Structure 1
Amino acid sequence: MRIREGLGQAAMAARLDLSVSYLSQLENDDRPLTPAVIARLAAAFPLDWRIFDADDADRRAAALREAIADPLFDGPPPPADALHRAATQQPVLTERFMTLHAAYRRAEERLQIIDDAISSGVQGSERLPWEEVRDWFHEAGNYIDPIDRAAEALAGELGANAGETAIIARLSGHHGIRLVPPSDDAPLRRLDRAAGTLAIDRALPPESRRFMLALQLAAIELEAPIAAVAGSARLRSDVAQNILASGLANYAAGALLMPYEAFRAAARAMRHDIDRLRQGFGVSFEQACHRLSTLQRPGARGIPFFFCRVDMAGNITKRHSATRLQFARFGGACPLWIVHEAVAIPDRILVQLAETPDGVRYVSMAKGLVKPSGSYARAPRRYAVALGCEAEHAAEFIYADGLDIASTTAATPIGISCRLCPRADCDQRAFPPADRTILVDPDVREVVPYRVS
């Protein structure tokens, strides 16, 4: 693990708060891995440590440490050796505690969805088809194993990161589909099944053009797994079913251009530097961000990221979170979040350390993007994307390098949305919280014309 990280023994020992001689003895099997040292390894290298084939007690102890770190529990966590003893001596009780904690988290998330819907006047039965599909992806963890693995296998057949030439040759040689010039009023992509032709908008940048080619190939070659997943989703309408199938094809295209293991390894080696990743895989900034949020394969997970896309009006048009941060299903995001500033400043990366009301801290990166329309008569599309992780993963996230993670005052206090945020002293509040009483004093006027009780 030390060699893979490119660390010398002194640097590794410093990261684990051990002496160099102690570390050397560990590496030569002259000392055992005690629960305290295991805890330090798991904290310093959370992603690496997961891959080791620990015994059941070690796995339970690691999971118990993660659950007990929830801000729900006040005070410092119990010592590592105490948690290890609990996992070893009371395995059934430990398992049930973790099951209970996971159920609590799921219940909290569902309650938030219901609160958000009620406060926004939208009932669950009234969800639009695209909202139903969005929630399906969220509940699936934004990782679809059979499609991801099939796309990775297809990428291996194409070779060289599934280059444009290889995709065009595959479409032509295996499926009789020729790439032809588009007409002036053509959509982004148009397949003429009868003629066996594919036209792609000439105004698209190279990475978007390649994505459209990958999307067409994935839709054809992965038709069976896409249909199987979509068919088992139990959505309420044919429209939602079709939207899901389209979304799964787009997912497959991203997995084809950024094969799981290769992309995950590169992301970790580059400390999740988006610009380096997009250049290495020939994808757009947004595509690379989105793919990072899907790296949740069991046994080979990436950093748990949240990802979203926000338009000029503050609408969240894409969202997913593998972290404890959950986006509001209806309405906009917190105005204090850096992504709103990024929309107005294209091609500049902004970073932020933020803290949610539950006490969890997040490092987020946001960048404003402009998609050209290809014509003066059509306005370009402007939006921003944001990617972030919990602060405990800051060492693996290059965008956290300039932030003072340890400072108790450096984090911006943010919420999920104004209707759900319990903060009583926010000057940026647009609406009062749905579950609190508001007080109005006619003799006192502050920034917000009411107080939250």
Structure 2
Amino acid sequence: MTRIAIGRRIRESRMDAGVTQTDLAKAIGISPSYLNLIEHDKRLIGGALLKRIAGALDTPLAVLSGANDAPLASEVAELARSLSFRGLDEAAASRFTGQYPDWANAFVQLHRRYRDATETALALSDRLSQDPALMELSHAVLTQISAIRSFAEIMEQYPDLEPAERERFCGIIADQSDRLGSSAREMIALLDGARNAPTPTSPQSEVDDFIHHCDNHLPRLEEAADALRARLETSIEMLPAAIENRLVRTHGLTIRRGRANIDRRDVRRHDLVLLDEEALDATHRFQLARTLADLELGDVTEELVADDRLTSDESRDIARRAMANYAAGALLFPYDAFHDEAEATRYDIDRLAQRFGGSFEQIAHRLVTLRRPDAQGVPFAFLRADPAGNISKPFSIAGLRMPRLGGACPLWAVYAAQATPDRTVSQLAEMPSGEQFLFIARSQSKRAPVYGRAQARFSVMLGCDVVYGERVVYFDSYASGRASLATPVGFNCRSCPRSACAQRAQAAIISAPTPPGGAPPAAPRMDEAEAGGPESREQSRKQGLASTART
């Protein structure tokens, strides 16, 4: 990250203190001309000189150095990239933050509010289409509005209605209006909990929201995992053996390998770790690491799950399992070593798996957590899908929303990977609005193939903005920029406007699909009926009354 420009801050602090350039230069032992160059950011300034300036102006060193603004500048640069402001690089973000820290913070806060509002709107849209109660109320509201409109149009178009007939229609309109008001109140009551934020519909949704709030990075667990690894006093290569040894010698556990489903009584024993003999070695290592994290990092986990966002015992239990998995990844894949190796290999997942002994999914999970401000990795979104298209573990990034309800676009690489098991698939995906993302996916099983036993397979996908393409090895195939290399996709069928897509499974919500059997005929307008003379007018009137009564 380019250093924060601090000359302007020194100048403003000096002027606020009522000190001239000459006096300050004399106090710190430099010439006024050199101080002038510093204040205009024409000269770099060392730590010792900056300390003398801060002391002479009686100003905190952090205020002049902008040390607290480095993460802010990094976030400004990240937002500029996510919004495709390609002309704004990290140096420009640093200058902006250094000169106008309050404005930079306002920019970040404004974008966060925009993102929250967008996520709320998307969540409410998902809920309207998935919640049976809301779907039923939406249908009732539309039906009642149609009835009111139809009868009102009849009364407007046919002033010669008999008094009894007019009174009957007025009664119908009043009744439908009452029903419309009741339906609207019920819908508002259901949505009232989502006024400030969408209310999760399940404990898993609460945990997903909690993880998103933490940006999938938990410094407390990172520090605790580092301390635990230091106590093991071993290298990365020997770490799995050291973990198993500590479980046996320190915690008195017995580790057995066998078929995990043959003796459930053994599985429930607290002094036994039963490793499925059909599972892969990477799964065994991760299970042992998670067991050790449960035993030795439980206090940290309990502090994290005490968050107010987790409102039920079930959601806290799910969060505990998620924290244990996170801690296991942090233990097996040390942040600094893993981050450095990821950058050196340009995020080659296979090479990272070979170096650290993890599976594709474990490595992908760890890549998503590289969000420490002073050593950030490429920001990845994450998604997992089974062969039926069921989505799990969604984690979104700016501009790339992973679906929580329903499925993703069937053209995404996460589904294409299922056709080529155990082979990494990449894709340059272009959204309807023109944004492009790099998708990396693989379909794998967590168990070795055994004759006569069904394999549980999952496809795992990472996604990042193409602005990070040069840092990722999988982008090399698309570096030429040819339009033919990009695959036109959407987020899901409901929100995608690509009408010519051969994979469309559902109508887009922006269209107005015709109900099965065709829509009932609308009440005729007087100018259309008059064209056919008195007979046509009377016939049209009867048809309109009959169709409206059916509605």
Query: 2:216 is matched by which residue type in structure 1?
Result: N
Q: CA deviation at 1:309?
A: 1.4
- Does residue 145 (structure 1) correspond to residue 155 (structure 2)? The answer is no
Cα distance, 1:382–1:63 mapped onto 2, change above 3 Å: closer
List per-residue Cα deviations over 1:283-314 (Å, max 9, x = no partner): 11111111101111232211101121111011
Q: CA deviation at 1:404?
A: 3.5
Q: Secondary structure at the match of 1:308?
A: strand
1:168 is matched with 244
1:131 is matched with 205
List per-residue Cα deviations over 1:253-295 (Å, max 9, x = no partner): 1111111111111111111111111111111111111110111
Deviates more, 1:275-284 or 1:354-363: 354-363
Cα distance, 1:411–1:212 mapped onto 2, change above 3 Å: same
Cα distance, 1:216–1:421 mapped onto 2, change above 3 Å: same
List per-residue Cα deviations over 1:394-428 (Å, max 9, x = no partner): 11111111114533453222222112224344332
- Does residue 97 (structure 1) correspond to residue 107 (structure 2)? The answer is yes
Equivalent residues in 2 for 1:290-309, closer than 5 Å: 290-309=365-384
Alpha-carbon distance in structure 1 between the residues aligned to 2:398 and 2:295: 33
- Does residue 192 (structure 1) correspond to residue 266 (structure 2)? The answer is no
Cα distance, 1:208–1:438 mapped onto 2, change above 3 Å: same
Q: Secondary structure at the match of 2:375?
A: coil
The answer as to whether partners of 2:447 and 2:455 remain within 8 angstroms in 1 is yes
Cα distance, 1:363–1:190 mapped onto 2, change above 3 Å: same
1:179 is matched with 255
The answer as to whether partners of 1:306 and 1:388 remain within 8 angstroms in 2 is yes
Q: Secondary structure at the match of 1:143?
A: coil
The answer as to whether partners of 2:429 and 2:487 remain within 8 angstroms in 1 is yes
Query: 1:139 is matched by which residue type in structure 2?
Result: H
Query: 2:118 is matched by which residue type in structure 1?
Result: E
Percent of aligned positions with the same letter in both sequences?
A: 37
The answer as to whether partners of 1:368 and 1:384 remain within 8 angstroms in 2 is yes
Q: Secondary structure at the match of 1:335?
A: coil
Query: 2:273 is matched by which residue type in structure 1?
Result: L
Cα distance, 1:233–1:245 mapped onto 2, change above 3 Å: farther
The answer as to whether partners of 1:307 and 1:388 remain within 8 angstroms in 2 is yes
Cα distance, 1:151–1:81 mapped onto 2, change above 3 Å: closer
- Does residue 114 (structure 1) correspond to residue 188 (structure 2)? The answer is no
1:273 is matched with 348
Equivalent residues in 2 for 1:344-363, closer than 5 Å: 344-363=419-438
Alpha-carbon distance in structure 2 between the residues aligned to 1:389 and 1:436: 30
The answer as to whether partners of 2:383 and 2:392 remain within 8 angstroms in 1 is yes
Q: Secondary structure at the match of 2:401?
A: coil
Alpha-carbon distance in structure 1 between the residues aligned to 2:424 and 2:227: 34
Cα distance, 1:164–1:100 mapped onto 2, change above 3 Å: closer
- Which fold has the larger relative contact order, with Cα–Cα distance below 8 Å and residues 6 or more apart in sequence? 1
Cα distance, 1:230–1:368 mapped onto 2, change above 3 Å: same
Alpha-carbon distance in structure 2 between the residues aligned to 1:401 and 1:81: 26
Cα distance, 1:309–1:68 mapped onto 2, change above 3 Å: closer
**Structure holding more helix per residue:** 2
Alpha-carbon distance in structure 1 between the residues aligned to 2:88 and 2:358: 45
1:6 is matched with none
Cα distance, 1:115–1:311 mapped onto 2, change above 3 Å: same
List per-residue Cα deviations over 1:308-327 (Å, max 9, x = no partner): 11110111222213343111
List per-residue Cα deviations over 1:322-346 (Å, max 9, x = no partner): 3431111100110111221111210
2:310 is matched with 235
Q: CA deviation at 1:242?
A: 0.9
RMSD: 3.5
- Does residue 285 (structure 1) correspond to residue 295 (structure 2)? The answer is no
Cα distance, 1:190–1:389 mapped onto 2, change above 3 Å: same
* Structure number with larger C-alpha Rg: 2
Query: 1:245 is matched by which residue type in structure 2?
Result: R
- Which of residues 257, 263, 283 is equivalent to 2:338? 263
2:176 is matched with none
The answer as to whether partners of 1:72 and 1:358 remain within 8 angstroms in 2 is no
Q: Secondary structure at the match of 2:250?
A: helix
2:476 is matched with 401
Alpha-carbon distance in structure 2 between the residues aligned to 1:140 and 1:63: 15
Q: Secondary structure at the match of 1:426?
A: coil
2:495 is matched with 420
The answer as to whether partners of 2:382 and 2:402 remain within 8 angstroms in 1 is no
Query: 1:115 is matched by which residue type in structure 2?
Result: S
The answer as to whether partners of 1:333 and 1:417 remain within 8 angstroms in 2 is yes
Q: Secondary structure at the match of 2:508?
A: coil
Q: TM-score by structure 1 length?
A: 0.76
- Does residue 343 (structure 1) correspond to residue 418 (structure 2)? The answer is yes
List per-residue Cα deviations over 1:44-91 (Å, max 9, x = no partner): xxxxxxxxx877898877655554555588xx8589999887656655
| Number of residue-to-residue matches in the alignment | 391
1:29 is matched with none
Cα distance, 1:258–1:350 mapped onto 2, change above 3 Å: same
List per-residue Cα deviations over 1:359-389 (Å, max 9, x = no partner): 3211111112133366544301122111221
Deviates more, 1:426-435 or 1:143-152: 426-435
Equivalent residues in 2 for 1:220-231, closer than 5 Å: 220-231=295-306
Q: TM-score by structure 2 length?
A: 0.63
The answer as to whether partners of 1:373 and 1:379 remain within 8 angstroms in 2 is no
Cα distance, 1:408–1:103 mapped onto 2, change above 3 Å: farther
Cα distance, 1:63–1:209 mapped onto 2, change above 3 Å: closer
Q: CA deviation at 1:212?
A: 0.8
Query: 1:165 is matched by which residue type in structure 2?
Result: A
Cα distance, 1:306–1:376 mapped onto 2, change above 3 Å: same
Alpha-carbon distance in structure 1 between the residues aligned to 2:493 and 2:273: 46
Alpha-carbon distance in structure 2 between the residues aligned to 1:79 and 1:312: 41
- Does residue 252 (structure 1) correspond to residue 327 (structure 2)? The answer is yes
Alpha-carbon distance in structure 1 between the residues aligned to 2:287 and 2:93: 50
The answer as to whether partners of 1:115 and 1:420 remain within 8 angstroms in 2 is no
Cα distance, 1:348–1:245 mapped onto 2, change above 3 Å: same
Cα distance, 1:435–1:207 mapped onto 2, change above 3 Å: same
